[in-house]
Amino acid sequence: MKEFDYLIIGGGCAGLSLAYELEINGKLKNKTLAIIEPRKEYKRDKTWSFWKVFDHNFEDCVIKSWNNFTINSSENSQELVNKKFPYQSINSEKFYKKINSKLSSNPNINFFKNLNEINSKNSIIFNSVFEAELDKSELWQHFQGIEIETTKDIFDDEILNLMDFNCDQRNDVHFFYTLPFSKNKALIETTWLSNLEDQSLMDYDLQLENYIKNNLGIKNYKINFIEKGAIPLFYPTFKNNKKNINIGSAGGMTRLSTGYTFLNIQEHSKYIARNIDKIEKVKTFNLGKKYQFLDKVFLKVLEKYPEKMPKVFSNMFKTSSNTIIKFLSNKSNIFEDVVIISKMPKLIFLRALFD
Ligand SMILES: Cc1cc2nc3c(=O)[nH]c(=O)nc-3n(C[C@H](O)[C@H](O)[C@H](O)COP(=O)(O)OP(=O)(O)OC[C@H]3O[C@@H](n4cnc5c(N)ncnc54)[C@H](O)[C@@H]3O)c2cc1C
């Protein structure tokens, strides 16, 4: 069976981002790479959004960028403006097409459907597949989004709505998220922060239908695209060792307090490509111990006091847009961290700290 220098398990966001980064940096001229991916075809399955806090390779896959966003609670609506770090959405179909077309020009890169088709004994492995079934009783961000198109111009496409808490919370944390791609097209998502055991929260179709009708006042629309997902808000156990490096969500690239993963995957891919020749010696990339600690406390509070979260989130955004964006994108300095921490209700956070 054929052997390869590098092996990527899972040709999704992380696997393909890494392969692309290696390819464009000339790291696969004299090395071979196998990508194991079982899917039959690549199509639009996700919309990846994030604040662009650094340049990435996929500007040509961006559906839209915004400089303004709102947070709505039952008490108020806040609008934040930021020209420095736009919020961007990427169409996964364009992303897959761009990368696969680039990779196909290098004969050193081969795709396989199954790991047992190759000999992986001597390869350096980058693994984006969770090693075990994840615990449904832990905290997850689960959601469904639909891209709707209306006949009339309805949306203000200059402003996205990051969180709208004007909805039924059902003893968990629930909000809607609206990305207006144009005046008559928007992705609307119902998002829950809860365990995955409670099936009653998963009547997403009905939640979206009611929100679009009652909150947005839209009666006539067609649905162009549906996306559904569940992001674990806990870190799985990693088997990272010198020759086996976990990447993507399975490699701890999700920011636990937000679910944002895409840009962290890009940063991790750049780190690996930069260090590929000595990858067995460099230290394991992570999002920063500081954020791991702060997010752990934050999620403890969220699990214990879900009813307080609309206010907690709303207060977090009562600061300069640079500060909150940098904090949520793991780019804040100590002064910015202190500003964010000072917005949190002290007593319950202290209690969570010592629980
Ligand atoms: C619907 C959705 C929307 C999201 N939106 C955002 C967002 O807006 N912003 C953000 O930052 N993050 C977002 N995320 C989170 C995160 O960015 C994505 O989940 C991202 O795709 C993670 O990349 P990944 O490579 O770890 O996983 P995936 O992209 O899921 O890739 C894993 C790959 O492994 C393959 N695979 C599965 N089993 C095997 C096997 N046994 N052997 C080999 N391959 C296998 C799969 O087919 C898949 O292609 C979203 C997640 C989902 C599900």
Largest CA distance in the chain: 64
| CB 46 near ligand 1, within 6 Å | yes
Closest CA to 221 of 327, 326, 147: 147
Residue 248 belongs to a domain with what CATH number?
Answer: 3.50.50.60
To test the ligand 1 pocket, which listed residue (261, 269, 287, 328) has its Cβ within 8 A of the most ligand atoms? 261
Residue 275, Ramachandran bin (φ over 0: left; ψ between -120 and 50: alpha; else beta): alpha
Asked whether residue 75 is domain-assigned, the answer is: no
End position of a domain, from candidates 224, 244, 278: 278
Same domain, residue pair 116 and 261? yes
> Is residue 247 domain-shared with residue 220, that is, in the same domain?
no
Q: Tell whether ligand 1 has an atom less than 6 A from the beta carbon of residue 336.
A: no
272 and 293 in a single domain? The answer is no
Tell whether ligand 1 has an atom less than 6 A from the beta carbon of residue 231: yes
Same domain, 96 and 156: no
Domain boundary among 245, 278, 311: 278
CATH number at residue 192: 3.30.70
Give the total number of structural domains in the chain.
3
| 39 within some domain | yes
pLDDT tens digits in sequence order for the chain, 355 residues long: 899 999 999 999 999 999 999 999 999 999 999 999 999 999 999 999 999 999 999 999 999 999 999 999 988 899 999 999 999 999 999 999 999 999 999 999 999 999 999 999 999 999 999 988 899 999 999 999 999 999 999 999 999 999 999 999 999 999 999 999 999 999 999 999 999 999 999 999 999 999 999 999 999 999 999 999 999 999 887 776 778 999 999 999 999 999 999 999 999 999 999 999 999 999 999 999 999 999 999 999 999 999 999 999 999 999 999 999 999 999 999 999 999 999 999 888 888 877 7
Find out whether the beta carbon of 89 lies less than 6 Å from any atom of ligand 1.
Answer: no
Q: How far is the CA of 16 from the centre of ligand 1 (A)?
A: 11
Together in a domain, 201 and 262: no
Do both 203 and 63 map to the same domain? no
Report pLDDT for 58. 98
Residues 125 and 250 in one domain: yes
Are 113 and 190 found together in one domain?
no
Contact 286, 330 (CB under 8 A): no
Closest CA to 194 of 132, 237, 143: 143
Q: Is the CB of 134 under 6 A from ligand 1?
A: no
Residue-range definition of the domain harbouring residue 164: 140-232
Q: Which residues pair with 173 in a beta bridge?
A: 193
Q: Is residue 78 part of a domain?
A: no
| Ligand 1 atom with minimal separation from the 16 CA | 25
- Predicted pLDDT of residue 242: 77
Q: Is residue 79 part of a domain?
A: no
Of all protein residues, whose CA lies closest to atom 28 belonging to ligand 1?
12
Residue 36 included in any domain: yes
| Residue of 200, 196, 263, 262 lying closest to 229 (CA atoms) | 196
b/e code 26-64 from CB counts within 10 Å (16+ = b): ebbeeebbbbbbeeeebebebbbbbbbbeebbbeebbbb
Name the DSSP letter for residue 268: H
**pTM greater than the 0.75 cutoff:** yes
Q: Give yes or no for residue 261 CB within 6 A of ligand 1.
A: yes
The answer as to whether 168 is a domain residue is yes
- Indicate whether 284 belongs to any domain: no
Q: What is the pLDDT of residue 240?
A: 67
Do 155 and 116 belong to one domain? no
Which pLDDT score is estimated for 349?
86
Residue 294 belongs to a domain: yes
Ligand 1 neighbourhood includes 128 CB (under 6 angstroms): yes
Give the total residue count for the chain. 355
- Quick one: 270 and 320 in the same domain? no
- Identify each DSSP E strand in 195-272 by its residue range: 222-232, 244-246
Co-location of 103 and 178 in the same domain: no
Q: Please check whether residues 128 and 64 belong to one and the same domain.
A: yes
